[in-house]
Amino acid sequence: MKRVTLLTANKSVNWHFPMEENVKRVIARPFSGSHEKMYQYFGTGFHLDHAAVYRWLEGEEKSREKDVLCYQLQRYEDII
């Protein structure tokens, strides 16, 4: 199971740090402390139409959650 975090309700996030640093600080749960290790073990459970997701996101207001989602989509584009 691949989990992508939006960094919400996570006390390890510091918005003064770059997005990449915050994503590294997040601990994936419940199977491993690494998102990548969980993916290697479980594989992917779904695939996204990335073009459709980005079109939908264009209509959404700017927010940290949107920024994080875009970052995570780009980071994991080859596996989800």
Task: Tell me whether residue 2 is in a domain.
Answer: no
Per-residue pLDDT of the chain (80 residues; tens, 9 = 90+): 444 556 665 667 788 888 888 888 776 665 556 767 767 777 766 677 889 999 999 999 999 889 988 988 888 787 77
Task: Tell me whether residue 13 is in a domain.
Answer: no
Prediction pTM value: 0.50
The span from the CA of 46 to the CA of 76, in Å, is 12
Ramachandran bin of 43, using left for φ above 0, alpha for ψ from -120 to 50, beta for the remaining angles: left
What is the extent of the structural domain holding 69?
19-75
The number of distinct structural domains making up the chain is 1
